[in-house]
Structure 1
Amino acid sequence: MIILSHRGYWKQSHEKNTRAAFVHSFDLGFGTETDLRDQNGTLVISHDMPLNQVLTFKDFLDIYAQNELPLALNIKADGLAAILDTVMQDRPKSNWFVFDMAVPDMRAYLELGMPVFTRMSEVEQTPVWFDQAVGIWLDSFSAEWYDEALIETLLIQGKKVCVVSSELHGRDKTLLWRLLKPLSHHAQLMLCTDVPEEARAYFDRVQP
């Protein structure tokens, strides 16, 4: 299993999506999920509409440098596919993916041959463009609705699977992590979490 830090490695909420959070995440060997949108024609890192100066995507990539850690790029605005494709053309497509864009906007990313994860959740149980997507962003808004068998089926079908950890939605993560533990040997399985060090310790622990 690959552990992704959610908006970098942070301890306080105001540290999310900051330079320090990404430096810390990469230094600890964690890939990261982050939010991508545009501001005045420039790609920037921001979950919400940026009102002040925020980290540019160029500066983010400078921090990332030549890492081969995975990047999950959460697309927060329409119309970014062409400029993002230009920026990312020289980077191995096995190391990053885009997800969470609007469904009509997803087509542009697929047509450009970019690595796209399509969504599954309790309200999206038939993922759009499943055949063209390289992976699944597996989410649950209210409670975990899926089981170990579904995840294993997706992996057998050749899809990467990134599971959204329960604490991102304010729920206890214990039951989900227990469900994922038997699958944690899969190299194509990922977990996006606010507590990456805790996740690494849990999933690296040998079961008695």
Structure 2
Amino acid sequence: MIILSHRGYWKATEEKNTETAFLRSFRLGFGTETDVRDHDGSLVISHDPPTSAALSLDRFLEIYREEGAGLPLALNIKADGLQAALKGVLARFQVTNYFTFDMSLPDMLHYFVQNIPVLTRQSEYEPQPLCYEQADGVWLDCFQGDWIDEQTVSGHLDAGKRVCIVSPDLHRRPHEAFWETMAGWETRRSNRLLLCTDFPEDARARFQE
């Protein structure tokens, strides 16, 4: 199982989606999830509506190229119509190990046209993942409770999909019991299974060492 840090590996709230968090994540060998939007004609890193202070996507990828090249990137798409610009920037920085997710359904269709890898979402609110056949994988989210089980994960892996599990801590719920359950799964040995968490070092100690 591959560990992704959520908005970089931050240790204080103000570090989320900052150079500090990304440097820490890449230097420790973690894949990284982050948020992509547009601002004033450029792509930036920002979960919320951005300001001129937002980190540029170019700068994020410079850090990635220097410190984390080859590690997986999960790009949470926060605005419509970014496909062509995003594909161009990723090509310029020679990024190949990545996927996108969380865009609107109409926008998702344009990502397929551009041959950009997309993870469709499955959650308690979306029991049937949209555009499953076209999607590269599934973003498994658990907003209210720990509904994800090994049978669900195994089914997606058997279908040839990548699977990224959202750890309960991303929704401010305790994660220890769910991690304990996951530790007994045979599927956790798959290199097509990822876990996105705010506690990447703890996850590495629990699942990889």
TM superposition score category, shorter chain reference:
over 0.9
- Normalised to the residue count of structure 1, the TM-score between the two structures is 0.95
Residue aligning to 1:61 = 61
Residue aligning to 2:152 = 150
Matched letter for residue 184 of structure 1: R
User: Which has the larger displacement, 142-151 or 158-167?
Assistant: 142-151
Residue aligning to 1:23 = 23
2: distance between equivalents of 1:158 and 1:179?
Answer: 23
Give CA-to-partner distance per residue, 1:103-126, whole Å, 9 cap, x none.
110011010000100000001111
Matched letter for residue 12 of structure 2: Q
1:167 to 155, 166, 169: 169
Q: Which runs of 5+ in 2 are unaligned?
A: none
1: distance between equivalents of 2:149 and 2:107?
Answer: 30
Once superposed, which parts of structure 1, at least 4 consecutive aligned residues long, lie more than 6 Å away?
none
Q: Which runs of 5+ in 1 are unaligned?
A: none
2: distance between equivalents of 1:48 and 1:204?
Answer: 33
Q: Does 1:187 align with 2:171?
A: no
Residues paired across the two proteins, number: 204
Matched letter for residue 195 of structure 2: L
Identity %: 52
The within-5 A match list for 1:16-165 is 16-65=16-65, 67-89=69-91, 91=94, 93=96, 95-165=97-167
* Structure 1 contact 148–179 (Cα < 8 Å) conserved: no
2: distance between equivalents of 1:107 and 1:55?
Answer: 27
Residue aligning to 2:13 = 13
Offset of 1:99 from its aligned partner?
0.3
